[in-house]
Amino acid sequence: MRKNSKKFPKNFFWGGAVAANQIEGAYLEDGKGLSVADINPFRDDIEKKKKGNKEMSMEEINFALQDKKGVYPKREGIDFYHTFEEDLALLKGCGINSFRTSISWARIFPKGDEDLPNERGLEFYDRLIDCIIKNGMEPVITISHYEMPLFLATEYKGWSNPLMINFFTKFAEVLFNRYQEKVKYWILVNQMNLITHESFNHLGIPSDSVENLRQAKYQGLHYELVACAKAIQIARKIDATMQIGEMSYYGNLYPASSKSEDVLAALKNNQMEYYYSDVLARGIYPRYAYRFFEENGLEIQIEEEDLELFKENTVDFLAFSYYYTGVIQAENLGKESPSSPNPHIQTNEWGWGIDPIGLRVALNEYYDRYQLPLMIAENGMGFYEELDENLTIDDSYRVEFLRQHIMQMKEAIYDGVEIIGYYPWGPIDLVSCSSSERSKRYGFVYVDLDDYGNGTGKRYKKQSYNWYKQVATSNGENLSAIKI
């Protein structure tokens, strides 16, 4: 009788994931243009931190562009643009054999609609990707990770404009041609289904630039799906061996109770979380989406040629981020934020429910649905931390968080799920996506910078640094806690 493995596969990617806009800084160097992330302000109020980057009006955009008093940490990041060689060597030391980052769209096409790319921007990524490979890491590159040129948002209304299809595919084609011999794994769009918390950062549609914002978002998502399918088509022509992935944020919700109404609400909510991956992984436009559009008064223009394009150009793997889970009650179905905290699990300061078993559930759900290799492209939990007198941090809580999730990954492998890589979010401290905090720390490496950019910028190893090295070098067999 055949049996499933109980171990991680050989050549498993023990990675780390970051995004250009959260680490690089140098926001106007070497010809880079402003991106949507460069106008994300630091939020010092807990409720504002939870709000994230839902929408932004033209008035708010113009205010940020003229603001001389506000703090915009993503403009400086952790100065990775100038320190990447030292940082990658440090990350190599904790066992990382694959590094996921993005290529800033605004660094390659500063306005987004240029005919030719910015060569100085490409030269930076030449050096960065070479350095990733030199350190024995497999590069995983995200093409669009909240780094749309701001000009495309203000002048074209972002993804609500079908011209974005050509802008995106031109950008993707430049990258595929430039790095086809160096980069095997590509993620098209970061967390494509996350259109609530990161609405403006993702879609770049100023809230007051369109008559019906929700209509514009879903039409824009369709255009983005078309652009992704065209990018796959381009990649296949350039090098058919490149592996192209769709990435989702795991936003599935549990029913709040066993009541049929709650169970149905969870089903309906979760279907629309699968909408994006169903199109790009299955190559079909799911029928449940048509009912969703009709019931919500959305008139989405879908051409027959789009459906053929989807059918012929599907992804090779599915990537997803996993942070927390929630529950849904029937009366909340259809709300912008339908999730409620799960009363059976612990939450952190941001209201994120810590649910390692939920990762096993997610892995099984995705694999049962698509039968494609899975990549956990992000997993982690932010904490407020300060160096102790020994210039380190006893982050045993992070070790335990990651250990519990890796244990559930092993269970999923025993279930028969094919997992190719695991990428803890922010292996080195960076700027938080939603709240633009540096004090919300994820890394194995501490960066001595606060929310206002004060500090030495020096890097220090946390306790989790050596622990992750132990996990990676044992290929997930040694998960025991260690002491420094």
Each residue's pLDDT tens digit, 52-104: 567 899 999 999 999 999 999 999 999 999 999 999 999 999 999 999 999 99
Residue 33 banded pLDDT, cuts 50, 70, 90: very high
Q: Report the pLDDT value the prediction gives residue 196, as an integer from 0 to 100.
A: 80
3-state secondary structure of 389: coil
Place of tokens 């809580």: 397
Residue 336 banded pLDDT, cuts 50, 70, 90: confident
Would you list the domain boundaries of the chain?
A: 13-473
Q: Does domain 13-473 have CATH number 3.20.20.80?
A: yes
Q: Report the pLDDT value the prediction gives residue 435, as an integer from 0 to 100.
A: 87
Q: Distance between CA 314 and CA 337 in Å, rounded?
A: 30
Question: Could you tell me if 146 and 190 are in contact, meaning their C-beta atoms sit under 8 angstroms apart?
Answer: yes
pLDDT tens per residue across span 352-378: 778 999 999 999 999 999 999 999 999
Question: Could you tell me if 359 and 430 are in contact, meaning their C-beta atoms sit under 8 angstroms apart?
Answer: no
Q: Report the pLDDT value the prediction gives residue 290, as an integer from 0 to 100.
A: 97
| Average pLDDT of the chain, as a whole number | 95
Q: Report the pLDDT value the prediction gives residue 52, as an integer from 0 to 100.
A: 58
Residue 47 has pLDDT above 60, yes or no: no
Residue 48 banded pLDDT, cuts 50, 70, 90: low
Instruction: Report, as an integer, the average pLDDT of 102-110.
Output: 98
Residue 284 CB neighbours (<10 A): 12
Instruction: Report, as an integer, the average pLDDT of 427-443.
Output: 94
Q: Distance between CA 257 and CA 235 in Å, rounded?
A: 45
Residue 335 has pLDDT above 90, yes or no: no
Q: Distance between CA 204 and CA 220 in Å, rounded?
A: 10
Q: Report the pLDDT value the prediction gives residue 49, as an integer from 0 to 100.
A: 53
Write the burial class of residue 144 (CB in 10 Å: 0-12 exposed, 13-18 middle, 19+ buried): buried
**What share of the chain in percent tops pLDDT 90?**
90
Q: Distance between CA 112 and CA 149 in Å, rounded?
A: 6
Residue 294 banded pLDDT, cuts 50, 70, 90: very high
Residue 484 has pLDDT above 60, yes or no: no
C-alpha neighbours within 13 Å on the C-beta side of residue 462:
24
Place of tokens 């033209």: 58
